[in-house]
Structures are given as structure tokens and as C-alpha cells.
């Protein structure tokens, strides 16, 4: 059964196509003309946090980038290419960093076990832990520390997006781009808005503010 599981996915696909065409015979014809999603989603690769399903959105509505623990790493060409394309070509209005409670990547970062290659990725989360160690140590259980680190990690990634030249150029050009930080609850399906939205007038430490000029029209 498990060996053939992938075949089931192809069957599901056929059913889905049929349903879509039954509802609207021009569905794929229309969708294939192009995309203008208003949102870029940076989420965790976790199979339980699918961007479209949990936000009730359809194909064409969210441009998605997912990796372990929804990270914004400045040397990650994959993330940077997605960000550049989303902001400068698709001209999204919102970037949402969505973490989730119970994130395996964040949990791994809280422990000392060596996990091979993934150590390098997780080290970025360890930095967030270390930067917030005073707040985290005040919490009275590992569970609360875990939940809070998930939130702090999202906040750090929102801030890391704001440090990129791609976002800063967009802000100088007054496009109205906003960055939001959310956390999804695996237990109840609810998304918590951390209310850390950043926009063109948000505070960014001087050292990270790049000397950019408005793009000539």
C-alpha cells in the first residue's frame, strides 16, 4: 500500500482536474495566462502547514517559498531569488513569514544533538535563541521556551527581510510593501498574528539601513 502511495497522488490529481473543469471549463485556460499574487509566503517545509489550505486561498493567490523553520538567510540564493522575483516582478504587497508551534527545526536548535548538515541551517535559530536568552530563561518551562522561540524566530526573520536591499529599495520606491509575522498552531489550526508588521517607516538599526536611491521612473 505504502509503496504505491505515490500512484494515489496521480489519481487524486485526475479527480481534482475533473472537479475544477466541471466547475469552470475555462479554469486552467485562465490560470495559465499568468499570475498576480498579492502575497509572498515564507513558511516552514513542514507537511502540516500548507500555505493555501490554512489561509483558504486558491492557486494564483500566494507565491510560496518554504524551507526548514521558515528562515530568511542572507546567503540563500533560493530565498533571495524568490524574494526578488516576488517584490520586483510580481510586485506583491505583502510578505508573510509564517512559523508554527511544534516546529521540529526550532526544537532541534534548542538542543545540543549533532544532526549533520542540518546543524548549519539550525545554527541561525541558535543565534536567535542566544540573542533572546534573558527573556527565554525567565519562562518556567521548556514548553513555553519552545513556543516563544518559534515566535522570536519569526520576528527575527521579519527583521532579516527588512535588512535586504530588495525590501529597502521597495520601501524607498514607496510601493507600500509590508512584512508580517505569523505563527500557525498545529493543535487548533489558528494563525496568530504576532503584530510585528514592518513597512517603509518602521525602525531599522542604522547599521542595516542601506544608502539606496529612489528608482528613476
User: Which residues are known to be catalytic?
Assistant: 44, 46, 48, 100, 103
Task: Give the pairing type, strands 94-100 and 62-67.
Answer: unpaired
Site for Zn ion in 87-116 (CB under 5 A): 103
C-beta of residue 167 within 8 angstroms of C-beta of residue 180: no
Q: Which positions ≥6 away from 94 have C-beta within 8 Å? A: 38, 39, 40, 177, 178, 179, 180
Nearer to Zn ion, 152 or 177 (CB): 152
Closest approach of Zn ion to the CB of residue 184, in Å: 9
Q: Which stretch, 43-51, 57-65, 175-183, 209-217, contacts Zn ion (CB under 5 A)?
A: 43-51
Nearer to Zn ion, 18 or 48 (CB): 48
Q: Which positions ≥6 away from 114 have C-beta within 8 Å? A: none
Closest approach of Zn ion to the CB of residue 161, in Å: 18
Contact pick of 46, 147, 151, 160 for Zn ion (by CB under 5 A): 46
Closest approach of Zn ion to the CB of residue 140, in Å: 24
Nearer to Zn ion, 44 or 136 (CB): 44
Closest approach of Zn ion to the CB of residue 150, in Å: 8
Nearer to Zn ion, 40 or 44 (CB): 44
Contact pick of 39, 44, 83, 154 for Zn ion (by CB under 5 A): 44
**Helix or strand (DSSP H, E) at 190:** none
Q: 3-class SS at 178? A: strand
Report d(CA 172, CA 75) in Å as an integer: 23
Q: ∠ CA 40-46-51 to the nearest 5 degrees?
A: 30
Note the residues at the interface with Zn ion (CB under 5 A).
Answer: 44, 46, 103
Amino acid at each position: 500500500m505504502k509503496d504505491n502511495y505515490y500512484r494515489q497522488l496521480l489519481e487524486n490529481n485526475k479527480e481534482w482536474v475533473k472537479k475544477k473543469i466541471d466547475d469552470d471549463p475555462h479554469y486552467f485556460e485562465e490560470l495559465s495566462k499568468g499570475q498576480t499574487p498579492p502575497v509572498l509566503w515564507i513558511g516552514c517545509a513542514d507537511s502540516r502547514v500548507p500555505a493555501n489550505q490554512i489561509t483558504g486561498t486558491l492557486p494564483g493567490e500566494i507565491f510560496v517559498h518554504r524551507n526548514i523553520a521558515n528562515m530568511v538567510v542572507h546567503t540563500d540564493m533560493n530565498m533571495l531569488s524568490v524574494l526578488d522575483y516576488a517584490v520586483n516582478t510580481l510586485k506583491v504587497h505583502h510578505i508573510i513569514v509564517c512559523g508554527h508551534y511544534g516546529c521540529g527545526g526550532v526544537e532541534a536548535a534548542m538542543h545540543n544533538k549533532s544532526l549533520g548538515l542540518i546543524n548549519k541551517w539550525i545554527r541561525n535559530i541558535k543565534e536567535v535563541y542566544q540573542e533572546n536568552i534573558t527573556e527565554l530563561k525567565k519562562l518556567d518551562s521548556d514548553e513555553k521556551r519552545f513556543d516563544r522561540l518559534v515566535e522570536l524566530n519569526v520576528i527575527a526573520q521579519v527583521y532579516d527581510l527588512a535588512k535586504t536591499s530588495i525590501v529597502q529599495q521597495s520601501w524607498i520606491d514607496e510601493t507600500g510593501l509590508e512584512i508580517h509575522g505569523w505563527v500557525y498552531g498545529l493543535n487548533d489550526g489558528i494563525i496568530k498574528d504576532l503584530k510585528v508588521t514592518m513597512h517603509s517607516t518602521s525602525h531599522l538599526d542604522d547599521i542595516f539601513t542601506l544608502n539606496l536611491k529612489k528608482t528613476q521612473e
